[in-house]
Amino acid sequence: MVQIGYTMMTEQAGPRDLVAHVVGAEEAGFDFSVTSDHYFPWLASQGHSPNAWAVLGAAAQATSRIPLMTYVTCPTTRYHPVLVAQQAATLQLLSQGRFRLGLGSGENLNEHVVGHGWPGVSVRQEMLEEAVFIIRALFAGDLVNHHGTHYDVDHARLWDVAVPAPPIGIAVSGERSCRLAGSAADLVIATEPKRELLEAFDRHGGAEKPRIGQLPVCYDTDHGAAVERAHEQFRWFGLGWKVNAELPHDASFASASASVTKEQVAEGIPCGPNVDRFVEAVRAFTDAGFTEVALVQIGGGHQEPYLEWARRELLPALRTL
């Protein structure tokens, strides 16, 4: 049976609301949760971007059952890998073993803020691979001295080591990232229901490991209002990750998505109160081979009715997949 997750989307709600929402998701019966890790929202209309790690620390204390996960953290530019390892180990201890560390090569939108520039995709993949090596060594409790292509680590160790260490997931979009995920990760992360990504992950050592997808949805009793909100806040989603990884500012995303219509958004994102439409969208992931799907309810101020509807109608319907 597919596991259904809840997304704390930091781009659309403040920190106290995010924690309250994941408490509600635990009470509603979601199987796990994930948290975005942004410095900027995609569009100004989303209006938020608190620190994900502070939110996760509060969520670890406010919940007792629901697993937590970054979806995803970029450990290469805005954060040094040694800092990511320390944060992740601490979250694993605070949550008593409920934390998974999702990693990816990042987006210019969030990483440009430290002024180090934005390298090409091949360099970003090299940086991610080296970062994962460093994080794994620190998770093991080793004293780490590392002088690599992209990072230096001088006499670092974790004094509070989590046992077991947080499982590491790696986000994939092509053959190279699937090779890294298959060989170096405990699970794979993707935002599109593409079977070929999972097949590549399996070829490189990922067989039998969990595979997690993510799906934006927009529940509302008024279908038209749901489409309007999804278009206002999430029309960037259809640009694709080759574009999304490169644009530097929320204004860039607004400009790039200016010609996206409401009809196009409604075609790609389940909107309104029809539970069957949501089930079919999740089925695309399960048919591709995903074992877990995290849903993103669009609109920070529209979480409570969504959580109640999910408890009452959506989650029971998805349990049949």
Catalytic residue among 21, 26, 38, 129: 38
E-strand spans in the chain?
3-8, 32-35, 68-69, 99-103, 144-147, 152-156, 168-171, 187-190, 211-217, 292-297
Distance of alpha carbon 211 from alpha carbon 78, whole angstroms: 26
Is 231 known to be catalytic?
no
C-alpha distances out from residue 211 to 102, 181, 197, 224, Å: 12, 11, 10, 33
What does the DSSP 8-state code read for residue 264?
H
Is 116 known to be catalytic?
no
Judged by DSSP in three states, 20 sits in helix
E-strand spans in 163-272?
168-171, 187-190, 211-217
Question: Using H for helix, E for strand and C for coil, what is the string for 157-192?
Answer: CCCCCCCCCCCEEEECCCHHHHHHHHHHCCEEEECC
First to last CA, the chain: 6
Diameter over CA atoms, the chain: 57
Catalytic residue among 107, 126, 129, 292: 107
Q: The dihedral of CA 235, 237, 239, 244: what is its sign?
A: positive
Residues identified as active-site:
38, 107
